Chain A
């Protein structure tokens, strides 16, 4: 693995499987009376959030604390793009405090990449979502959820998602979740189809390792997992689609549509859901919807990433399991 986790595209298949396998072991810690490991004792991790995201921040924070890292939360809301210097200054301030890793969420695409590659700091950088670019831990937790549900918790160990058909529906244009998932799922051997109104698909998508369709009903019967992306209401005002009603009718997932998927198919959502827009309450609350699982899996995945990046003297090597030394 590389020293930083900036993009899902940076992960090899073996890296990704190692992270998923490690997360599977981390998940078991949650079942124990003492949900804590001493692994990152004495390491300091800062959660540097330039954008509001309570969910992602507490997920990282839980992961960091379960691994016994010292955690600093730094929320710099509203000081991102207008004062560009602040990213560098803030990062260097934190570096001076002896931080080992920076988990960064930023509204500007590429900010984590800059932080990792500009020579401003030495700490490892973990991207917790940047602009409309990437959100690699989200993609990893999604893949983890899929592998558990579609391959099996134990049967999945060491396995990827070869041959699984994943459909991602919604605002692909503005979605870092979609970008990360397309990269990672492709690396893991899955077949990805994006479904969206043409206005919400980026120019240049033809080079992505996936299919694009404008017809949700045609794709559903061939989907092992359907991932619904959040559609922000303000997109309507920017003329990406005419009305909320029309969007829901063409691209929303309701019970009737869900019935068109194979019986084993799952419905995923990165949250927060806009019920009634991209997903109906009936679907969101159904057995097949994995939203709550995804949240739990998020902590395991983030523990795995933190351990593999920070647990040793250098990032993990992604070949087979180790034998023990005495």
Chain B
């Protein structure tokens, strides 16, 4: 690999090893706080009910790690609104990534498809940040091996732009214009002990 790739990779592994350290060390500032996150999730839940006409065939699939928690939170909100049990699961896309050859293999996360499957249903993929779109492309491939949904939609907490593929989100918590020199980090209580979205400068090594 060339030098630049190596550099990118080290940077990413640094992030992987200690998720918060890199962001916190570089003067990250919060762009969404706990109450904001709760509010936008509520809004997205209402949008889903509205656009999916009652959401009676919706299946929520979160993309690990934080997408899964967001999907669970959305499901809880949807259950409140519709008073119906909302199928929610997780979809690990690791083995469908297009950059597998650029890194050491990653540990796999759980793929958990709700009991009735996804065939003929409206699958809503849930993730924390939409960036290049490559994760979502991988998720679409993964879905393809699992079943045939009626339609697939995408919900994200933050859309930070810089798409590299023709992919867009159907439900966006917050549009956040960023530069490529910045990082966006979503922290959630389930994983990180608190809810916040941090915008910071990319650490220079």
Contact = CB atoms under 8 A, between A and B. Distances in A.
Asked if A and B touch directly (CB within 8 angstroms), the answer is yes
Interface of A: 18, 21-22, 25-26, 28, 32-34, 36-39, 67, 307-317, 319-326
20 contacts: A21-B108, A25-B110, A33-B146, A33-B147, A34-B146, A37-B96, A37-B145, A38-B95, A39-B96, A310-B105, A311-B100, A312-B102, A313-B102, A315-B105, A316-B106, A321-B65, A321-B106, A322-B106, A324-B65, A326-B131
B64 interface: yes
B81 to A, nearest CB: 28
Contact of B107 (A28, A315, A320): A320
Interface in B58-105: 63-66, 92, 95-96, 100-105
A307 B95 contact: yes
A316 B105 contact: yes
Contacts of B147: 33
Contacts of A325: 12, 15-16
Contact of A322 (B101, B107, B146): B107
A230 B141 CA distance: 44
B129 A326 contact: yes
Interchain residue pairs A-B with the least CB separation, the first 9: A326-B131, A311-B105, A25-B108, A312-B105, A39-B95, A322-B106, A316-B105, A34-B145, A321-B107
B63 A22 contact: no
Contacts of A310: 105
Interface centre among B13, B64, B145, by most chain A C-beta atoms within 10 angstroms, is B145
A313 B146 contact: no
A320 B19 CA distance: 11
A319 B42 CA distance: 36
Nearest to B141: A38
Contacts, number: 90
Given A310-B105, A313-B102, 12 more contacts: A22-B107, A25-B110, A26-B108, A28-B111, A34-B145, A37-B145, A312-B104, A313-B101, A323-B16, A323-B65, A324-B64, A326-B131
B132 interface: yes
B27 to A, nearest CB: 20
B166 interface: no
Interface in B117-134: 127-132
Contacts of A36: 145
A313 B99 CA distance: 10
